Amino acid sequence: METYLAYALRGKNAWWRYLLCLVLACLLAGFIMFAGALVLMLAHLMPLGLAAEIQRPQNVMPFFLGIAASFGIVAISLALAAAAVHRKRPSDLLGQWRWNHFALAFGAWVLVQSVLALIDFAIAPKGFALTAGQGTLSLAAVGFVGISVQTFAEEYVFRGYLTQGLLLLFKKPLPAAIVSGLLFGSLHISNGTPQALNAAVFGIVCSLVAIRTGGIALTYGLHLANNYFGAVVVVSGSDVFKGSPGIFSQTTPELVWWDLFLAVLVLSAVPWLIFRQRYFSTVPAA
Which tens digit of pLDDT belongs to each residue from 72-90? 999 999 999 999 999 999 9
Judge whether 67 lies within some domain. Answer: yes
- Listed range (9-23, 31-45, 193-207) with the worst mean pLDDT: 31-45
Task: Name the residue among 74, 146, 128, 158 with its Cα closest to residue 246.
Answer: 128
Confidence of residue 102 (pLDDT cuts 50, 70, 90): very high
pLDDT beyond 70 at 35: yes
Percent of the chain with pLDDT over 90: 79
Judge whether 161 lies within some domain. Answer: yes
Percent of the chain with pLDDT over 70: 94
**164: containing domain:** 2-280
> What is the pLDDT averaged over residues 161-174?
96
pLDDT beyond 90 at 39: no
Judge whether 30 lies within some domain. Answer: yes
> What is the pLDDT averaged over residues 25-53?
82
pLDDT of amino acid 86: 98
pLDDT beyond 60 at 4: yes
More confident residue, 2 or 187: 187
**Residues facing 201 on adjacent strands:** none
pLDDT of amino acid 51: 66
What integer best gives the mean pLDDT of the chain? 92
pLDDT of amino acid 55: 75
pLDDT beyond 80 at 52: no
| 3-class secondary-structure state, position 247 | coil
pLDDT one-digit tens code per residue, 227-279? 999 999 999 987 888 888 999 999 999 999 999 999 999 999 998 888 887 76
Sheet containing 128-130: order of strands: 128-130, 248-250, 234-236
pLDDT of amino acid 49: 67
Judge whether 286 lies within some domain. Answer: no
Judge whether 190 lies within some domain. Answer: yes
Number of domains the chain is built from: 1
Contact of 155 with 206, CB cutoff 8 Å: yes
Distances, alpha carbon 12 to alpha carbons 8, 177, 251, 282, in Å: 10, 22, 49, 24
Non-local (6+) Cβ contacts of 208 within 8 A are 173, 174, 177, 271
| 3-class secondary-structure state, position 236 | strand
Judge whether 285 lies within some domain. Answer: no
pLDDT of amino acid 283: 61
> What is the pLDDT averaged over residues 122-146?
94
Judge whether 74 lies within some domain. Answer: yes
Judge whether 178 lies within some domain. Answer: yes
